[in-house]
Structure formats: C-alpha cells, structure tokens
Chains A and B, each alone.
Chain A
C-alpha cells in the first residue's frame, strides 16, 4: 500500500515534514527573529504564487492517481466479469466478481453454513490476535534476552536456526492433537509463525544499537537495567515494530491453517467448506473478508508505530514524494 505517497501535502507536513521549529523560534544572536530565508516584500508575492502553483500541481497529480487506480480496478474486475459472462472462461473454476458479491451479501444477510458471518470473523480474529500477542511478546522478550547475553545466544543459535528452517505450519496438525478444537490449537500455529519473525528482528535490533549511545549512557551512570530499558529497547523498537507489520499477516495465516486442521467455525473453516463444495465464489468471498480484516489490523499497527516512535525523523522529506 502506498498510503504515505497519497497523503495531501498538508497532512504530510503535520507528520513531521514541517520545519521542526517555526521561523519565529529561530533568533539571531541579537535576539531579532529571523524571517523566512531571503524573503523581502518584493519576493513574497512570487513565493505565494509558487506555493499556490505547487499545491495545484500536487492536487492534480493526486487526482490522476485516484483516477488511474479506479481505471485499473475496473479493467481488472471488468475483464474477469466479462470473460466469465461470455463463457470464454468457465466461472465454475475461476468464480465471478458479481458472484462473489452475491455470496458476500448472502453471508451478511442470511448467515453462512457455519452460522453468522461476524461470528466466523470473530473466531478467526480471536485466534489470530491471541497468536499475535503471545508470539510477539515471546519474540520480543527472548530476542532482547539473547541479544544482551551472548553466551545464551551462542548456545541456542543452532536450535533456533533449525526450528526456523522447518516448515512450521505443519505443526498445526500437532497442535490440533494437543489442544483439540479449542482456540489454542489455532492460536499456537499463529504463535510459531509470528515468534520467529519478531524474535530475529528484536535480536538484530539489540545487536545494532549504536555503540556510542551505550558508551555515553554508561559514562552518564546508567546501570545494566537502565541501559536495557532506556537505551537498548527504545533503539531496537524500530526493528521490532517493523516486524509487527509482517507478523500480523502471518498470525492470520496461522489461524486459517490451524482451522484447516480441525475447527467448527472461523473464516478458514468457511473457505475450506466452500472449497470442498466447489464454491469458488465462496473461497474468494472468504479471502476478501480476511484481506479487509488484515488491512484494518495493519492500520492499527501503523498508528501504534507512529505513537511509539514519534521521536524518529519522518521518512517524508521536504519534497513531495512520488
């Protein structure tokens, strides 16, 4: 998603693209406030004109992008609909956008074969969120621990690399036996998928902390605990938060795969059922619901990220990004 690139210039600047302090704050040695650099009454008219022209062209550009996106969606869905309508491609195998919409509407208005749609979504989200929380908590704690204590890291590294190398989704069958049909059978699958991504990022984040900052904190009198909480963790936070973006998607994968190994409800189970009854539109409709939920979660994580690392210089530079 190119969310950032489509922000209007005004909201870009509130994100941090604005000059860090307004010109009134910058004072010359003699205390007189500085105006905009090089501004004189004669040039101010030209400046205003330039700014207006720039915002006009930015607006035009944004409009173009929205129109092109709409055109792309119409082309994609339209050709799909058209080719299946004309029976050039058999809708039995590839589904049909209108059929997907109808299926979605039936699910919403009349419920699914497994019960109401919101219940299926809630079940899957519960599994995914539980797996995400437990997996990322474990990943962060162990990543920081191993990053700080070299001996443990060296002892455990072959085991961790080995565990990471196996295709962990197959563990879902094991968890289905261990936990039966309970929520933990699916959440555990999500945990093992999420854990490694977060763990490796947290570990690397701790390893990449600027040596200068550690030296400075030690000189200033920080003990080991302070060093960890005030230097190591904030510094590794960018890495950890970056991994959370990927890992929520993985948590959903874990929950859905877990449901395939045995469940009575959930979107994964719904998709599984649709597949078994040759209901291609149902598969697509289930995927669509999952995608919407994942995007909402992604938005929440981005909001969390912006709150937690508001100290970081914005990636948006003064120039309008493409």
Chain B
C-alpha cells in the first residue's frame, strides 16, 4: 500500500466538561486511510466518530498521539480537505451560486472565475436552474447537494463526511448515496464517511472501521470486497453483503449494548 493519505497514531482526545470533570472521547485510536480509499467509520452513539473527523480536519487538536494528513502533521486546517457536515452548514444568506462559489473565492479566485466553476458544479450535482435560490427555498436533499458541491469544487484530496445523509428520508438518501459514489469515482479523493448506519457503511465503503463504545478506539477493520460500480439500492441483496453485515454486526452488537447500558445508567443518576 502506498503511503497513507490519513494517519492517526495512538490518538487520544479529552474534553474538559463544564462541571470540572474530564471526558475522554477517543482513547489510543490508531487507523490509516489510503489514497483514494473510501473508508467508513461506524460505532455506537457517542463513540467519538465525529471527533475523529474534527481531528483530521484540524478543527480540534489531539490531546495525545499524532494525526497526519498526506504525510504532514496536522497543525491547523490542512490543504486539500473537504468537510460535509451532519447538519446544514450551507450559508443561509447566500444563494446556491454564492454558496458553491465561496470556497474558490476564499482561496483567492477572481469572482467571475469562481462563479463559472460554481455553475459547473451546480450542474454536476443536479441543481441547474436553482442557482439563485436561497437555502431555505430548497428541500433537505437539495441542500445536501449544495453542501457536496461546496466541498467538491475545491478539489479535495480528502473528503470528510459526518453522517451527511442521516437527516434525509430513505428514498432521497439512497439517491444521494448513489450520486456520491459516482461523484467520488470521478475524483481520486480519499473519503472518511462517519455513520451509525451499518448498511450505508457497507454499501458505500471499501473498508469499514468499527469503533468501540466511548472512549472510542478501533475494535476491528473489515474489508468490503463488493465489486464497483455499485448500486446502493440493490447491493443489499447480494449474499456477500449479508455475510459482511453479519460479521460486523456480531462485533457492533456488544458495543451498542454497552453504550445503551451506559446511557440508561447516566439517565438514572
């Protein structure tokens, strides 16, 4: 395997809680993502999946351990990173066109150039004709498309996605997953896709990394040797899909139970 695009070595992340305690989100986490690889991260609620992305993106710093992107230690936001957030992060006061053109403009492209590229990407994510709408005038799925175009226009070598489709209805979700795969296949970006949905993880990824209940650390890594191109809606019917699902679920189940017991305990206190 070529040198990894993303490397996390023995990473621990702690947060100070408001009542003076310390909360450990990640403990001694080690994982790698290869160039051009689609890696899904699954785990029970509160296992530090989103924290992992925040560390890779440089939005948060590791309390201990090392995070490297493209062989460079992460200090601040690395070049070539794209981030699709769980909740809507498109700018509500900008039109679709201005939203998508934001990245190139912030990176110094002249306005006309940025807008021309934005139009191209708006067409690629299937929003042609909606350039002048404001986000509140779009459906949830359309806003996600804006978010995708906003990230992809910068040509990221690493795309971080934090449960991007969890708020969408099932049909829109499948549609978006297929579009994501086709957009991704035309780039050479590595993807880290965080989700709590195991089916989504297997359908999309080359590799699934399973985290333990918090503090999160890697419980297991599973290769997904399903052929590409895939159709997310239909790949679930393949026997191999079920085998992989069962293998991961056997391990995930225990972590989900641990997480659930803890939540019950926390609620009872």
Q: Is the CB of B102 within 8 A of A220?
A: yes
For residue A222, CB closer than 8 A to chain B, the reply is yes
The closest CB in chain A to the CB of B95 belongs to A311
The contact sample of 13 A-B pairs, CB cut-off 8 A, is A20-B133, A20-B136, A25-B129, A219-B57, A219-B59, A220-B102, A220-B103, A220-B154, A230-B91, A235-B93, A311-B94, A312-B93, A313-B136
- B83 contacts A216, C-beta separation under 8 Å: yes
Interface assignment of B257: CB less than 8 Å from any CB of chain A: no
The answer to whether B137 touches A221, judged by C-beta atoms less than 8 angstroms apart, is no
A-side contacts of B90, CB under 8 Å: 216
Q: How many Å from the CB of A169 to the closest CB on chain B? A: 36
A20 and B138 form a contact (CB under 8 A): yes
**Beta-carbon contacts of A8-36 to B below 8 Å, as 1s and 0s?**
00000000000011000100000000000
A234 to B90, CA, bound (A): 13
Q: Which residues of B contact A216 (CB under 8 A)?
A: 83, 85, 89-91, 150
Residue of A nearest to B81 (CB): A219
Q: Which residues does chain B contribute within 8 Å of A235, judged by CB atoms? A: 93
Residues of chain A at interface, number, CB under 8 A: 26
Residues in chain B within 8 A of chain A (CB atoms): 57, 59, 77, 81-83, 85, 87-95, 102-103, 106-107, 129-130, 133-138, 150-151, 154
Instruction: Looking at the assembled complex, report how far the CB atom of B186 sits from the nearest CB atom of chain A, in whole angstroms.
Output: 21
Q: Is the C-beta of A218 less than 8 angstroms from some C-beta in chain B?
A: yes
The B-contacting residues of A in range 269-322, CB under 8 angstroms, are: 309-313
Give the CA-CA distance A215 to B86 in the complex, in Å. Answer: 12
Q: Which residues of B contact A226 (CB under 8 A)?
A: 106
Are B133's CB and A221's CB within 8 A? no
CB distance from A215 to the nearest CB of B (A): 6
CA distance A246 to B45 in the complex (A): 45
Q: Specify which chain A residues have a CB less than 8 angstroms from the CB of B150 in the assembled complex.
A: 216, 220
In the complex, chain B residues whose CB is within 8 Å of the CB of A221: 103, 106-107, 154
Question: With A220-B102, A309-B93 in contact, do A215 and B85 touch (Cβ < 8 Å)?
Answer: yes
Residue interface mask A230-241, B partner, CB < 8 A = 1: 110011010000
Shortest beta-carbon distance, A2 to chain B, in Å? Answer: 24
Alpha-carbon distance between A217 and B91 when the two chains are bound, in angstroms = 9
Cβ-defined contact, B89 with A215, below 8 A? yes
Instruction: Determine the chain A residues whose CB is within 8 A of the CB of B135 once the complex forms.
Output: 311
**Interface residue? A87 (CB, 8 A):** no
Q: Smallest Cβ distance from A256 to chain B, in angstroms?
A: 36
- Most central of B81, B92, B93, B94 by chain A CB within 10 Å: B93
B136 touches A311 (CB 8 A): yes
Confirm or deny: A212 has a beta carbon within 8 angstroms of a beta carbon on chain B: yes
Residues from chain B with a CB closer than 8 A to the CB of A82 are none
Bound Cα distance A235, B91 (Å): 9
Residue with the greatest number of chain B CB neighbours at <10 A, chosen from A20, A216, A218: A216
> How many whole Å from B25's CB to the nearest CB in chain A?
16
User: Contact partner of B89 among A20, A212, A223, A311, CB < 8 A?
Assistant: A212
Q: Which residues of A contact B134 (CB under 8 A)?
A: 310-311
Residues from chain B with a CB closer than 8 A to the CB of A210 are 89
The answer to whether residues A312 and B133 also contact, given A218-B59, A219-B77 and a CB cut-off of 8 A, is: no
B77 A218 Cβ-Cβ under 8 A: yes
